[in-house]
Structure 1
Amino acid sequence: MGGVSMVPAIIGFYAIPEVIKAFAKPKEEIIVKKAKDDIKEKVPIWGTVFKNLRLVIQSALIGLGVGSLPGVGEDVATWVGYDAAKKTSKTPEKFGTGCYEGAIAPEVANNSAIGGAMIPMLTLAVPGSPPAVVLLEALMIHNVRPGPMIMRDNPTFINYIAALLFLAVLALWVSGIILAKPMSLILKVPAVYLMPIVSVLSIIGAYAINNNPFDIIIALIFGLLGYFLDKMQY
């Protein structure tokens, strides 16, 4: 299929401008407050989660619905979840300032879209996202044929997938708790040292999606576009 690949364009639009801005101000460093040892800094604040339970359910349903649409993926679910949260919030003016609602909605929608993408992939053999494409190819390599007849040919396979998704969520939660504080130390690295690594990884990521060198050009073009739009305060 022709057209511009979405992932290289997104990588270029959001990553490359930050690299350019970092080199434009080489003396500027990213400064963060010293991480506290308080347990609240390490684990989720459960009161906040339950306080926003309606938002969690809303974003989960949005992610599930958007993820179940073939070819849409987690990126769209993230933005739709964020937009819906902002429109239904009692304090929409706080979005963009680091409020909990603005963080909860896109993350929940993004995670639930992964499960939603499994629906068309397993029942119709039509992947709902780029990761689902990789999983579909892996299943075919192992002689597992997703589609309408999967329940007849592999009656327990759906249960395995559900169990794996559940374990993946638990692993994500545990790793998030363990790595949250150490990973925050990366923010103390001066941008002039960190951004070259980001730029290399961005280029590799743009190329690796389709193994197409043209995607690198797409990422750079969208990166320049994003930088100029940022300079013009769009």
Structure 2
Amino acid sequence: MDLALLLMIAVFVASLGIQWGLQATFARHSRVGNTRGLTGAQVARAILDAHGLSQVRVEPVPGHLTDHYDPQAKAVRLSEPNYASPSLAALAVAAHEVGHAVQDAQGYAWLRVRANLWPVASLGSTWGPILVLAGLALGALGLAKLGIYLYLAVAFFQLITLPVEFDASRRAMGFLKRMGFLSDRETGPARQVLTWAALTYVAALASSLATILYYASLLGLFRREE
């Protein structure tokens, strides 16, 4: 079996393991209430207000782990369970998303770079694989290479995402400790939730890189000229 294909399979399996780890960790700490009894929405609102961001809304959204910060709408959106739950997991996730809002307010450079890359990355994720496969089917090497270049934009976007996400988690732990939302025994569980969440972004980057290598091997880009 081709080495690049083996690598892609190995990364896929590892990604499944990380997703399982996140789900298991989140489920475990979703059943444990924080000592302050505050919901994710309350914690998010308190941290935002403490940073002078009263204009940023905190809103519930449907789904599971659909939490995100919308920089266009200036809104922290928490999945419905995290919005209303007083669990340790909800507290950690809410603080993380507020971390993105604070990054936005402070003009965090990597967040701006990521926002500027998003249109190209979105194009690459949609058309990259299509162009590679079309190029292979038609024997059009140039078309397939264009697909790989577009997919490289996706990987670069994911690479830039890492410092953005790690910084948001670092800020989240700082918020929670300074504002007294975490007791000593709760610090570890909150950090576990954030760590597993961060690993999913590492897995996504590894998956993209492995896919690119596989596409390149299909095109014979690693073969030496006879």
Name the TM-score class by shorter chain.
Answer: under 0.3
Q: Which has the higher strand share?
A: 2
Return the structure number with greater relative CO, CA threshold 8 A, min gap 6: 1
